[in-house]
A and B are shown apart, each in its own frame.
Chain A
Amino acid sequence: MLNLDDIIRILSEVDEIELEGVSIEAQELIMELKQGLAYIPVAKHAKKEKVEKKKEKLKYERKIREYTGSIQEVQIGATRKEGGTRDYVIKIGGQTTLYPYEGGYKNRPVVSFDVFDIPQPQFPKVLREIWSEVWHDPVAWAEKALEYGADLITIHLVSTDPHIKDTSPREAAKTVEELLQQIKAPIIIGGSGNPEKDPKVFEKVAEVAEGELCLIASANFDLDYKKVAQVAIKYKHNVLSWTSLDINDQKSLNKLLFEEGLPRNRLVQDPTTAALGYGLEYTYSIIQRIKQNALKGDSELQNPISCGVTNAWGARESWMKTPEWGAREYRGPLWETVNALAVLFAGADIMMMLHPLAVKTVKMVITSIFEKVNPSREVKYEDWIKI
């Protein structure tokens, strides 16, 4: 067998060389040849033999896909310089491609923890155990949520519901004001879901939070969505456009909100997150369709998507003590995790969540897929056989 040095030596001594039955085993072969030695029949000869023996292989090449539309980039939270008081802001959306590996993702999806303005004793046990010590104080609750890795916080002003505590808009505004003073993360402001009360609450809350670029959740067809849009425009906030599992409704509501004068980059859409096992497939497909249509150029759907993954806890499998389903303390957080992963891979930009373990796992997947971080531990795949 000849090594490279031998070959080079021989090549330098002769004018022409012909090799037979030779194959070269190397990944890449670089030869610097003197002028006049350019003719090397070796490679040609070997290649010819190969062609006779084998069918031409199809070469895989990754095709670049063209997308004609893009998703609006929405900013939640404003710094002092921008007219708010946040220490940092969250940017979501802005995609120009369907998948992150295609290079069109400037922002990764984010996780918001749900915080409520009154204690939630009806929470499943695993959630009560975590949150009961802080649920008398939204600020303490939010601080704990941030420790658990929240990118931002959603404050649900549920006590304003006339059937619950009928807290006045003024009092609700105080809760939000205090939260904004005590925590530095951007916030999402949720109402109680009462269609008469919510617009009134949002009006007061938006006023005290003027310029903070919060996300007001939500404008929907059940309430005076125009008023919600006007309030958001006046006091500089974003609006969550919420519809119920119907892409056409989502399109029309977005359109109506834009027609009210809401800037294109101040709307986040929520097509409703059905729980794992309870219609999640509808949510999954609607999110995929929204993203695909948006990237094809449908301007009424080109906004980031928020998902209330917390709805996972509405599925009885997440909380019910049923021995044949296995331990509920592990089942519940996993139920929320899997629910979140489904909407994440479908195209969600914000995931509203409740269990710290679920958030930890989902954030691990987010940093893996969207930021391609180096793994904290290197493993060799083939070793799975030996676990």
Chain B
Amino acid sequence: MARISPLEVYKLLPGINCKKCGADTCMAFASQLIERKKKVEDCTVLFEEDKYKEKREKLIELLTPPIKEVVIGDGLKVGGEEVLYRHELTFFNPTALFIDISDDMSDEEIEERVRRINKFKIERVGQELKLDGIAIRCKTNDEVRFGEVVLKVVENSKMPIALCSFNPEIIEVGLGIAINRRPLIYAATRNNWKKFAELAKNYNCPLVVYEEDIEKMSDLVQDIEEYGVSDIILDFGTYPQGEPLARAIENMISARRAAIEDGFKPLGKPILGNATVAWLVESDPIKASHLESSLAASLMLNYADIIFMHTLETWAILPLLTLRQNIYTDPRVPIQVEPGLYAIGKPNESSPVLVTTNFALTYYTVASDVEAGKVDAYILVLDTEGLAVEPALAGAKFTASLVKEHLEKFKVDEKVNHKTIIIPGMAARLSGEIEDITGWRVLVGPIDSSRIPKFIEEKWKKNGKA
């Protein structure tokens, strides 16, 4: 279902299997190019020899994603997507979350907000979830104040920034101060676009174009491109509810489909969603944060590559960052957890030892079931190369000798005073072999981990202990 097939790419490679790129064959290199694990430049032959000029150019054109990749600051990539649905390949650049700073906030408030945005970090499934940037908006319409605030932000944060005003003179003041940061400029409209295009061109910065009518957006983008601006981000306007919200999302989907399904380049740009509009209809900070996060989720699920937000409440941001982590998980590579012995609750030497795989979903399901059942236990996580129990068994990645290896490696016998392990119900057929080669007694657990607490209650407490 991917846009390009390895064969198409292969035809544009030298086809000499020289291995200089690190891949064994040109065909393997072709697949890696599509998966973005390698770059065209890795094929040095293609660049050294003149006879490949035509192939090289065609290949670069072919590999340019239908949604342009735009860089904000010194390396925040947005867009660059290949597919409409993650199962067709994967999504590449996770939606960037920008938190706003208004120039009418006090200096102390700004410093505090910037500090919180900088240090925001939550660990989940072995990944660090963070925010991506700061959107500075000019509410005062006072260029002196805006300049002061931009300076304050730039001095206190290394994060990518967006300068937000519909007045080009104000933006220019901000650009003068933050020029080394390559900020995102917000926003050109059908009325002011020439001045904004001029700024984006002169300062070489990415530019947001705001236009609610998709046909006019397409025209406007082409005018601005012809003017010489190449990094453009589309803002169709976000509304907090009702028909205008439907229209905004419809535009986002239509733009993405036109670019990917029909190869319509003018709309093949990253899309900006703006959840801060929740604060236009809700003044209570809790209600507004709830609505804002819900809107942000809706935008993220409908192709927003950048989202502006106002709330800094962790409870409102965590669900969003988790959603992003889920949706942008590469479906080709299951997330794994580190093999090892994990303590759930407060296990002691007589607590049960449950064996499972290092496929993250399996592990976290088992762990949360054990935890929900208020069971104190150890979980021995086997390195099944990220496979769940059933495929690991089928592919001989979950074997008796692997169990033996892990029991020894993680010194399970030093943690508990018994020699019994509980294996997944689906792995029942391994029980005899495991007992034979490890010397540990095996209890076959339930097929579904939700029944582990009951199983511990009934089987372990009666028979498990040595």
Contacts and interface: CB of A to CB of B under 8 A. Distances in A.
Interface of A: 54-55, 57-63, 65, 99-101, 163, 274, 276-282, 284-285, 288-289, 292, 314-317, 324-328, 330-331, 333-335, 337-338, 341-342, 345-346, 357, 361, 364-365, 367-369, 372-377, 379, 381-387
Contacts of A387: 102, 139, 276, 279-280, 310
A382 B165 CA distance: 9
B87 A289 contact: yes
Contacts of B212: 381
Contact of A382 (B166, B253, B254, B361): B166
A334 B293 contact: yes
11 contacts: A60-B215, A163-B454, A276-B319, A278-B368, A315-B368, A331-B315, A342-B297, A361-B291, A375-B241, A379-B240, A384-B276
B241 A364 contact: yes
Given A330-B289, A341-B297, 12 more contacts: A57-B222, A60-B264, A63-B261, A101-B246, A276-B322, A281-B86, A326-B316, A364-B241, A365-B245, A368-B243, A384-B280, A387-B280
Interface in B264-321: 264-267, 274, 276-277, 279-281, 286, 289-291, 293-294, 297-298, 301-302, 308, 310, 313-316, 318-320
Given A99-B253, A326-B315, A381-B238, A281 B245 contact: no
A333 B164 CA distance: 32
Q: Considering residues A58, A330, A385, which has the most beta carbons from chain B within 10 angstroms of its beta carbon? A: A385
B320 A277 contact: no
B368 A54 contact: no
A375 B454 CA distance: 50
B290 A333 contact: yes
- Give the 7 A-B residue pairs with the shortest CB-CB distance, closest first: A326-B315, A375-B242, A326-B314, A60-B218, A331-B315, A381-B237, A372-B243
Given A285-B86, A374-B243, A334 B323 contact: no
A56 B218 CA distance: 13
A345 B361 contact: no
Nearest to A275: B368
Interface string B337-375: 000000000000000000000000100110010011000
B327 A317 contact: no
B197 to A, nearest CB: 15
A185 B327 CA distance: 35
A285 B326 contact: no
Given A101-B253, A285-B85, A385-B165, A60 B316 contact: no
A379 B319 contact: no
A381 to B, nearest CB: 4
A281 B331 contact: yes
A342 to B, nearest CB: 6
B249 interface: yes
B203 to A, nearest CB: 20
B155 interface: no
A383 B166 CA distance: 11
A337 B290 CA distance: 9
B310 A335 contact: no
Contacts of B286: 330
Nearest to A316: B368
A369 B246 contact: yes
A277 B291 contact: no
Contact of A361 (B238, B267, B290): B290
Q: Considering residues A277, A282, A377, which has the most beta carbons from chain B within 10 angstroms of its beta carbon? A: A277
A281 B266 contact: no
Interface string B223-265: 0001000000000011111111110011001100110011011
A43 to B, nearest CB: 19
Contacts of A345: 298, 301-302
A342 B323 contact: yes
Interface in B29-43: none
A280 B326 contact: yes
A54 B226 contact: yes
A285 to B, nearest CB: 4
B118 interface: no
B124 interface: yes
A284 B253 contact: no
Contacts of A58: 218, 222, 264-266
A104 B233 CA distance: 30
A386 B100 CA distance: 11
A57 B265 CA distance: 11
A335 B314 CA distance: 12
Interface string B376-402: 000000000000000000000000000
A274 B322 CA distance: 13
B143 to A, nearest CB: 14
Q: Considering residues A314, A317, A387, which has the most beta carbons from chain B within 10 angstroms of its beta carbon? A: A387
Contacts of A284: 86, 326-327
Contacts of B253: 99, 101
B214 A60 contact: yes
